[in-house]
Amino acid sequence: MRFQGSMVAIVTPMKDGAVDLRALGELVEWQLAEGTDGIVPCGTTGEGVTLTAKERADVIRTVVERVRGRAAVIAGAGSNATHECVEAVKLAKELKADAALVVTPYYNKPTQEGLFRHYQAIWEAARFPVVAYNVPSRTSGDLLPDTVARLAKTGAIVGIKEATANMDRQVQLVEKVGRDAIVYLSGDDFTVLPYVACGGHGVISVVANIAPAAMKALTAAALRGDHAKALEQQVAMADLNRAMFLETNPGPVKAAVALLGRAGPEIRLPLAPVSDATLVKVREAMVRFGLLKQA
């Protein structure tokens, strides 16, 4: 149960087309100082799919070296080819991350049996903790509770990041897998409180890139059963959460990190910088939440 609490799906800062490892290291230090429980590099928000193999290694290595055991590191290692996933998970293991985050294969649209064999093959080849990542809106596939239960039983996964925003799905997972058999992490900033109330152990968050202390407070309140405090915080963050998804993630959050002066706004194609109209709305949401002063 080390993988619980408020974890940040950290952005990958870029400068002049290259990964900015100095800025990344500073972001990690800030996250730790703000109380973040885990750092998740090279995920969707970290633009893992458009990083080269060397860049992914550099990013994971930088995060691990900066964290120095002070928080969990779950390294993104997803691909739509199982053999590539195996190599990525082995790399995460070699670089001394604590676990690998492996998204369900996108584009291929495997069956549930294919998904089971995919994660099972990764476990058998790498023997390293894997957190499955289920995000049907991006992958066109859905890792169903019965399959999660099979994987948990064989030990192929130690947890799941569930980004369906469906609380009935989370109840089904607890029903079929067990409350503490694996770690359940919300993939949606909008649902931290209800997700934890339905058996979740925390969140892998986008908005924590700009409001880490606030997300930590929300998650901690939910986990200790202080639902009134957690609800107050969830509502307070709702406007900011919406702003981070006005365009495809991580466009808005990279713009927001840049507005804080913590890294540049560069984003790698095929994603493009947010529009001027979106940037205005992101800035306004940050002002309302108290992250920026009114211009």
User: Which residues are known catalytic residues?
Assistant: 133, 161
Is 62 marked as binding a ligand? no
Is 267 marked as binding a ligand? no
Please give the radius of gyration of the chain, using alpha carbons only, rounded to the nearest integer. Answer: 18
Select from 169, 243, 200, 75 the least CA-distant residue to 254. 243
257: which 2 tokens? 């990190």
Is-contact 207 241, C-beta < 8 A?
Answer: yes
- Give the separation between CA 13 and CA 22, rounded to whole angstroms: 9
Select from 37, 61, 59 the least CA-distant residue to 48. 59
Residues in the annotated binding site for pyruvate: 45, 204
Residues in the annotated binding site: 45, 204
